[in-house]
Amino acid sequence: MDKELGKILIIDDDEDVLLAAKLLLKKHAQQVIIEKNPKKIPFLLNNDSYDVILLDMNFSKDTTSGKEGFYWLSQILEKDPSAVVILITAFGDVEMAVKALKEGATDFILKPWQNEKLLATLSTAVKLKRSYKEVDKLKKAKKQLEDDINQPFKEIIGNSPAIKKVFDLIDKVAKTDANVLILGENGTGKELVARALHQRSLRKDSVFIGVDMGAITETLFESELFGHKKGAFTDAKDDRAGRFEIANGGTLFLDEIGNLGTPLQSKLLTALQKREVMRVGSNQVIPIDIRLVCATNMLIHEEVSEGRFRQDLLYRINTVEIHLPPLRDRQEDIPLLAEHFVKAYGKKYRKPDMTISPQAVSKLEKYHWPGNIRELQHAIERAVIMCDGNNLSNDEFFFLIQNSGGSNDTASDSFNLDDAEKNVILKAINKHSGNISKAAKELGLTRASLYRRLEKHGL
């Protein structure tokens, strides 16, 4: 038998048993840790993980009932529900050992044991532990892959020279493991580019894990990215793997990285430099192997020059930079994008025959699109929902109000209450890219009230 038994922890208050077990098992295991005092179990589990735990049923305080053994079994399984625990028990305690199996133990051995029987039991237990880990990893990967499949409109669409430059850069960079920083305004498709890099990479058969750094609070940063042990803080009710750990072997996408505060930038940099993480509440180091892709809508080089973003972290994440053009710089792609979204939302809302008129497309081409592709996508979704027929005309895009950028707004200079109300409504709708619910909330109105005012003003 080779050293495939992994790391084994043995807890027994009999030193002779500990030494005999270690002498036998060190030939077959990668590491054997022995401990006389069961009170050290929590410490041992917090600081390391084990393929198999051998646990005596009776300790010096209680040599016959097995209550201590049951107590420590429950403590081990509470800390690590997937722990593989083999009980060490005397021949007369077989009935008690069977009861322990029902409590969550994996197996038991009788002492004095037969060496071949002990080794065979441990070998089976190690295989079981590895299968637990594999099943857990597959479950996480399956969930993430299902989430990926459910992502709408994964394709990057366009024929413009500006977007073709992006395609060329993706093709050059994808098959390397170089860290990539994607720069661009909100709504330009940064996540789609990150996914395209993953799908064309050598890691495409592994997971793609995305993290919105702007949505993670400072207190949850380490837990979300690095994971935590059960009991590490008030709400840590179970062990949890962090995003780095889950993404191991695949691609980790850190979106809105420019929003990260300086103290958190330091922690992220350390993890990237060492290529390892440590769960909150644990001292065990977990090696990581990821392809890192980051994105931000901020002028990141200005953030560095003004001291708000670490230059050494920028060097670490931007081996290659991909700059995404705003939609206003690739207006020739608007008809293609419009057709794509009309088809997709027509299918989603059971209007498969939905089309868009040339006049409506022309209107879309003339609009400035401050919210970029995301705003276009939302505008077409709303138009498909509101359209009574099968063809989207100019009327379905009444909420697109072009911002001229000038100050000659006659409505804003008017003291007529109706004009003022109309102007405020238009500004609210434009601010929220045509989202009626958000505009209504901003105006302090219900959706129904806002729709009534839209009809009143002929909008």
Residue pair 141/248 in contact by the 8 Å Cβ criterion:
no
What's the pLDDT score for residue 219? 81
Note whether residue 139 is domain-resident: no
As a whole number of Å, the end-to-end CA separation of the chain is 80
What's the pLDDT score for residue 66? 64
pLDDT digits (tens, 9 = 90+) for 261-271: 888 999 999 99
Q: Are strands 276-278 and 285-287 parallel, antiparallel or unpaired?
A: antiparallel
CATH code of the domain in which 170 resides = 3.40.50.300
DSSP string over 14-26? -HHHHHHHHHHHT
* 172, 234: one domain: yes
Residues of the chain with pLDDT under 50: 1, 150, 152-153, 403-412
Number of domains in the chain: 3
* 124, 175: one domain: no
Residue 402: count of CB within 10 angstroms of its CB: 11
pTM of the model: 0.60
Q: Which has the closest alpha carbon to 182: 322, 326, 311?
A: 322
Beta bridge partners of 175: none
Residue pair 262/218 in contact by the 8 Å Cβ criterion:
no
Note whether residue 141 is domain-resident: no
- The DSSP 8-state label assigned to residue 332 in this structure reads G
Query: How many CA atoms, within 13 angstroms, populate the side-chain half-sphere of residue 249?
Result: 7
DSSP string over 231-290? TSSTT--S-EE-HHHHTTTSEEEEETGGG--HHHHHHHHHHHHHTEEE-BT---EEE---
Note whether residue 258 is domain-resident: yes
Note whether residue 2 is domain-resident: no
Q: Which has the closest alpha carbon to 236: 244, 224, 226, 228?
A: 228
Q: Where does a domain end: 325, 356, 389?
A: 325
What's the pLDDT score for residue 49? 83
Residue pair 72/38 in contact by the 8 Å Cβ criterion:
yes
Beta bridge partners of 107: 86
Residue-wise over 213-239: b if at least 16 C-beta within 10 A, else e?
Answer: beebeeeebbbbbbbbbbebeeebeeb
| Sequence-distant (≥ 6) Cβ neighbours of residue 74 within 8 angstroms | 103, 104
What's the pLDDT score for residue 92? 60
* 37, 50: one domain: yes
Q: Where does a domain end: 306, 325, 344?
A: 325
The whole domain housing 372 covers: 329-456
Give Cα 51 to chain centroid, integer Å.
Answer: 27
Note whether residue 146 is domain-resident: no
* 206, 245: one domain: yes
* 396, 249: one domain: no
Q: Which amino acid, one-letter code, is at 380?
A: I
Q: Distance (Å, rounded) from C-alpha 259 to C-alpha 243?
A: 18
Note whether residue 182 is domain-resident: yes
* 30, 166: one domain: no
* 245, 345: one domain: no
